[in-house]
Structure formats: structure tokens, C-alpha cells
Amino acid sequence: MLFRIAPTIAALFLASCATLDTPNQHTTPQPDAQAIEEKALPGAVSSADFRATAAGEEILAKGGSATDAAIAVMLALTVVEPQSSGIGGGGFLVHSTGDRASVTTFDGRETAPATATPTRFLDENGERLPRSSRVTSGLSVGVPGNIALAAKAHADHGVLPWADLFQPAIKLARDGFIMNRRLNDSIGSRKERAGKTEEARAVFFGADGEPLPVGSKVTNPALAQALTDYAEQGAAAFYQSEAAALAAYVADETPQDGKMTPQDVQTFVPKERAAVCAPYRGHQVCGMGPPSSGGLAVAQILAQLERFDLAALGQDSPTFWHLFLESQRLAYADRELYTGDSDFVEVPVEGLVDAGYIAQRSALISPIAALKEVAPGTPPGAPAQRADGDEPAESGTTHFSVVDAHGNAASYTSTVEGAFGSGLFYRGFYLNNELTDFSLSPEKDGKPVANRVEGGKRPRSSMAPTIVFDPDGEVILVIGAAGGPTIPVQVARSIIGVVDFKLSAKEAIAMPLIMAFGSTVVIEEGSALEAMRDDFTALGHNNIRSFSPPLKANALLRTAEGWEVAMDPRIDPMLATQ
């Protein structure tokens, strides 16, 4: 198998570090474009930050597996992209040894404390607690799962020693990294949450109380020490040795309902789940199953569209975008009613992707008129007496894709939920606010909500790490995205771009976004879709709004020349150095 001669930024990374003198010294190094050299890699990495990509490349260069490199990327992102993910959160990993028969998935989704109740986010009158009480408190913090996920995946698919995977992240935290515009903007727009604690302010804010300027050196000695401990002592350092300290910190910030206990931390178990795989035009699309809704949503969106000749329509056709919108509306209606943590509620996974059921749902889609109402279907095995919940919008996520020299592939999506999670800062990293992905209301009209809060339960997620196999059964596309509920739509759209429209990975990721939120249709501001607004109205889409979505996808595409490394062009890769 050929591997593309991909640009590496390791040289630029080292050059940047050389300019760092004292902690948080305000310097503005100029990026050296000549330092971004071309060199052959024993694999390929795509992430949202060049320093995390460099960490993964370093591990691959040492002979590490795709899983080894993905873990190194996750750890590095804890340091340089704390607004999106990290070891204080959780994630999902889809892995393949190169063919579709080998797909395994790892669930490192956070869990609610054992004593959490369905009314966790309601007051004594049954009304929702204020957002600040729900989000930026211990009420929102689930037991973090990323370290446990990494340990389990490494035990199964790792090659290099565990401690080696931590070294790039430790170096970044200890020696410092450059504050880029993305992180500076994120802190500036969420100063209250990012700077909730004195410890976080000491890392990311200056003496004036403002975020460190772009170009500043950021060091995080507390995180460097934490990572060193986990590297030397293994996952037990996180889940056993300091279980009491972590639980006590979260419990002290929890105003009501079940507080986290040391046992909650000690008994956290990452799980290997069955992948959700479905055919699409001779390809096989494999993603994450419950508690993620992402794999199912992607599979349904694509399968419901397979009877239409999308290639003939083309990406410039309003009819294509209308069909795509209608398919996602049907998939999301099912998602809201049926998906949740399958350890607690019955999720009709096989029924939702059953060929007969998909045909019934697809038959509802008309190329000339929008559905006036969209309701959930009744797939085979559907449980009775189920209600739609009221989950807040998700955010604060990142994705990275890795392939190694042996063809192993890792598609990993990691999150702390909202930007900077709960704002609680423990040992130099932000703790998630993942429990706010549960429905705020436990029931509706007397019917239980699948995604209600329960002790030990994992909240539903939109994350959709995905691996696509070509008709010969070989990995052709490793993809995923960030952006809350838009994630399955981004992934499905990009797969259509590659499979139907024969686009490059970058071109497919760059395609605009259209999505339905209830009766409202949102189209990406400034995109070609805005010129199609009248066409969409004529098709029956009446409440259309433009918006600037928080899109962030990363992918690897196998081509005749090797692996194409792609990241969302909406994120300027040079923002990491400016």
C-alpha cells in the first residue's frame, strides 16, 4: 500500500519551542513556511492541531501502531486544545486492522455517579435548574473515560510501551506551547468558564485577568506532572490511586443529587462495543453503536438515499441537498426516540438499519416536496412507551484519524462536551460537563425518555468516528468530526462527497452544511446553499436560516498515490502558529 508524501509540521513545532524562554512570556514568533517540509511518513495522521499531529507522527516514526499514535494525539490535544477534549473527558474509538471483518470499537464515554437520579437537573418544583447550576458545577461531570479507553485499546492494539505515548504531551505541557488564535478566541469568548478556577487562570490568563495574548508561551506544570504519573503508573494512577481526590473535588462542587464517590471512579469500565456497519453503494460504512447515536444516524442517512442517483444530480443540485435534508430528518427523528445507553435501555440497533425498514423510511422521501411532518418510525424490535427528550446542544469535541504502515486504522473522537467542559480544573486539565448530554426531563406524557439520567449510565452522544471500506473490503476512508449534533450530518455528507461525487477528502469535508433543527432548516452562511434558498422554499422548506456552524472534520482518504490527509478548511491550519 502506498502512503502519500504528506506535509509534516514537526520541524516547525521544534522551531517554535526553541523560542520559548520563560513561563507565559509574551512573544510572537513568526511561522517559517520553509520549515513545513515534505517527508515520507510510515502512516498518516489528521488532527485539528499541528502539534497533536506531530505527536502522532512521532509515534508512527518510532514504529508505533495506529492506536499508539491516536493515544498520543489525544494526550497532546489535552495540552494544546483544552477547549475541546482531553483526559478529563471521554471518547469513542473505531479500529480496524485493515479489513472490514476486523472492526472493533471502544467506548470510553463518561458515566454518571451511581447515586445520580433522573431528576438531577430539576429543582424541587420539577423545573430546570439555571444553566450555570447545571453546566459549570459538579452536577455535569461524569467519570472521565479517555485514560481507561486508551489503556484498553493499547492492551489490544498497542505496540510501543505505554509510557512512550505520553512523552510528546508531557514535553508540550512542561516546556510550553504557543497560544494560537483559536485557543485565544475560545478563552476570550468563554472567560467565565475557562477561568472559573484560580488554577486555570494561572495557566491561561495574564496578570490583567485577560487571556494570554496570541503568541504567548503557555506552560502547564501541573498537567505535565499528572501525565508523568499516568505514564509511569498506568491507568491505575487515575482510577485507583487518586480516585478519592478526584471524587472529592467533584463532590464539593455538586450542589444536589448524587455526588461522585471514589467507588464511581474506581469501578469505571471502558467497553468494547459491537460496531454499526451498513452497506452503501458497494462500500461498507462502520461506526460507533450506542451510547453513540452517530453511527446509526450516518448509516440511516446514507441507506435511505441509496435509491437516488446522487452522482447524476451532483453537489450543485438543490434536489440533492433537499434529499439529503429529508433523509437526515427521518434519521434524527428515530435517534431522538430510540437511542441511549444500551446497557440501560433497549436500542433496536438491528431494526434501525434493517433493509426492509430502511426501504419504508426511504419511500417517505420525495424529490419534489418536503415532508410536512416527520415522525419516528417503528423499526423491528422497537420498544413501546418511549418519549422524546430535551437534551441541550452538544459542543466541545475534536476528532483525529490515524493509519499506520501496516494498514491499521484508528478513528477517534474525543470530547469534554462544552468548550472547557464544566470549567472545573483538576491537575491541569478541564473536567467534562458530559452529563448535560442527558435529557433534562426524565419523562414526557408519562412515558420514559431513553436518554434520561440514571446512576452509572452513559449519556447519548452524536460522535461518529467512522471507517469506510471499499468494495474489496479494504480501508478507504477514516473520518469523523466535531460540532455537536451536526457530527453525523458532516460525516454522511463527506462520505457522499467521496463515494458519489468522487471528491478528494478535503473537497468532501469542505462541502457546505444543511441541517434541520425541528421545523427550522439551517444552511451554512456564505456557502453556495444560500443561492438555493428559493429552491428550498419551493420544495416546502419554509423556515430557513443562515448560520456559521462550528464544523471541524478530519479524514484520511486512500488514493492511487497513497493517503490524502485532510482537515476542515474552515479551520486555518496556520492559526496554530499565529
Catalytic residues: 397
Residue 323 has which C-alpha cell? 434529499
Query: What is the Cα 276 distance to its own chain's centre?
Result: 17
Phi-psi region of 256 (alpha: psi -120 to 50; beta: other; left: phi over 0): beta
Give the Å distances, CA to CA, from 380 to 296, 347, 359, 374, 388.
Answer: 15, 11, 13, 19, 19
Q: Cα dihedral angle (92, 96, 102, 107), rounded to 10 degrees?
A: -10
Which of 13, 2, 21, 117 is closest to 56 using CA atoms?
13
Sign of the Cα torsion 314, 319, 321, 323 reads negative
Helix or strand holding residue 228 (H, E): helix 221-233
CA gap 362, 274 in Å, rounded: 25
Asked if 110 and 143 touch (Cβ cutoff 8 Å), the reply is yes
Helix axes 66-80, 146-157, angle to 10 degrees: 160
Grid cell 476528532 in the structure block, residue: 399
Helix axes 487-499, 294-305, angle to 10 degrees: 40
Grid cell 467533584 in the structure block, residue: 250
Half-sphere exposure of 109 (CA within 13 A, CB side): 30
**Please, where are the H alpha helices in 349-440?**
349-352, 355-362
